[in-house]
Amino acid sequence: MKLKADLMTSEDMRRALKRMSHQILERNQGAENLVLLGIRRRGVPLAKKLSDNIMAIEGISVPVGELDITLYRDDLSAASEEPVVNSSDVPFEIVGKTVVLVDDVIYTGRTARAALDASSRFGRAACIQLAVLVDRGHRELPIRADYVGKNVPTSRNEMIAVQVEEIDGIEGVKLYGE
């Protein structure tokens, strides 16, 4: 696949995440009772950035956990014969909390569904919301994000690549296609 477009720079990502942080605070009337669960891999650093933004805005530290959804995927056998399973790291209670699941891209909605299933093993949250940096459309399930950094209409044969400093050494969002 070849690069078709640079969709977001590091600065664009920073601005989008800051806006999303404000939206999360507005909708939830502050950061009390709020926790963030980043979906491995790139959802985790994005969740940490949202938490840092909330700390800068409200002065409240919002806990961030890491959610591994591998075993909850409905396409597990298609993804790999021997999937790599990492453990989730949720070192706090989510029972009765407002949980914001954080991911880099929403596409079919299947990852979000798996994250809902995975998060339920930690208890019953009062409310679960979804924050994504990029919404590319093409939902196969009735799931939508509550907070979106950028909507990018794509075709099914295109691919969105989110790059984060912590994993890729660079930040940005790119669109690839044929």
The residue-averaged pLDDT of 61-72 equals: 95
Q: Which residues contact 52 (CB under 8 A, 6 or more apart)?
A: none
19-38 pLDDT, tens digit each: 999 999 999 999 999 999 99
Model-wide pTM > 0.85: yes
Q: 29: exposed, middle or buried (C-beta count within 10 Å: 0-12, 13-18, 19+)?
A: exposed
Residue 163 has pLDDT above 70, yes or no: yes
- How sure is the predictor about 12, in pLDDT bands with cuts at 50, 70 and 90? very high
What span, in angstroms and rounded, lies between the C-alpha atoms of 4 and 17?
A: 24
The residue-averaged pLDDT of 156-178 equals: 97
Decide if 134 contacts 100 (C-beta within 8 A): no
92-130 pLDDT, tens digit each: 999 999 999 999 999 999 999 999 999 999 999 999 999
Residue 81 has pLDDT above 70, yes or no: no
User: Half-sphere exposure of 66 toward its Cβ, with a 13 Å CA cutoff?
Assistant: 12
Which residue, 5, 6, 11, is CA-closest to 165?
A: 11
